[in-house]
Amino acid sequence: MKVGDFWYQAGTSTWFCYVYEDTGRKHKKTLGKGKENEEQVKQCWEQLVMKHGSQGQKKDSMLSAVVKSYLSWKEDEVSEEVVNATRSKLGKMVIFISDRPMHLVKSYQIEDFLKIWKDDSPATKKLVQAQISSFFKWAKNREYLEINPMPEYKKYPTISRGIDAAMTETMFCNLHEESPDWLKDVLWTLFYSGCRPSELCRSTKQHLDEKLGCWVFTEHKTDGKVHRKYIILVPSVLDIVKRLGEMHPTGTIFRGKRGIPLTSPKIWAALQCVRKRLGVANNVMVYGARHGFAVSALRAGLSRSDVASALGHTSTNMVDRSYGHQLDTVPDLRNKLSQVMDR
């Protein structure tokens, strides 16, 4: 007989552990009641382990060591920016709940950690939850854990600010005029290609297909398949990309004043400095250039399917939901209705 890890079930306020029989069968054993009684439960569990032995998986590995292994694995799967964002969140988690063997990480500790972001936007909460959940799923699949301690959590909907956050052409021109040269290249590329800031920051000379006039990114999806994403570059943007590619034949091509590769936070900080100099209201965000691209393209007469393709979406659902219902101003809508209904 062997004893597995102990865990807390919030719904019943009860501590359990699995007991494995020599026949291969397992059953739950109740260790105690009450979240506050973890120390007593741990002593009871340790007595069982001394008597029967532990299940003996990788559960003695320290949380920080498993996080390091996970990040090393992730470096081969996603971009450097995503890895750095994940490293930041997991590092904060290790500090918050303190480094400990994996089998001693409990659901309520993760719940308390996730509450740090309770006042953030739904998109931020969803991102943090996904990063933490992915880590524990990975750890369980590699047998660092017997039971995934990640608690069930409220799934926040992805809400696009769409047209409300769109950078208008007037705002773009004002910001562009007051920006340093490197930021001018960034703003122009974002506004006239519709790419995401993260895509711009990781673009290299090798991503450019001059014959097609676009960037080609290879992406690893969760279904295990490799997808190609094409970002169309209009002539003015193509000229910028080619020029920067000649300046930086290796590594990323968009860089700051001192030649340091850009990240989304660095672009945002520089944009806020320009915004403050102009006295613009505090609603300017880097992603607003992508929204501005979508709105401008739709108002210029491009079909929603074409705009969706340019943004990298596989359907028009996001375009319809985020931009479609507000594209017609009241005067425009009145004129259209008058032509059709007023006879």
Collapse the DSSP code of 4 into the 3-class scheme (helix H, G, I; strand E, B; otherwise coil) and give the result: strand
CA distance 263 to 218: 19
**SS3 of residue 61 by DSSP:** coil
Higher pLDDT, 266 or 118: 266
Strand partners of residue 185:
none
Segment 283-286 long-range contacts (CB within 8 Å, at least 24 positions apart): 283/165, 284/167, 284/171, 284/175, 285/165, 286/190, 286/197
Per the CB < 8 A criterion, the answer to whether 267 and 186 are in contact is: yes
Tell me the average pLDDT across 86-101. Answer: 90
Confidence at residue 62, expressed as pLDDT on a 0 to 100 scale? 83
pLDDT attached to residue 306: 87
| Cα atoms in the Cβ-side hemisphere of radius 13 Å centred on 78 | 16
What distance in Å separates the CA atoms of residue 220 and residue 16, rounded to the nearest whole number?
A: 39
How do residues 285-329 score in pLDDT, each as one tens digit? 888 899 889 888 888 888 888 888 888 888 888 787 777 655 555
Rounded to two decimals, the pTM is: 0.58
How far apart, in whole angstroms, are the C-alpha atoms of residue 60 and residue 236?
A: 57
Average pLDDT (200-212) is 93
CA distance 26 to 88: 38
Residue 57, pLDDT above cutoff 50: no
DSSP one-letter code for 100: -
Given a cut of 90, whether residue 69 has pLDDT beyond it is no
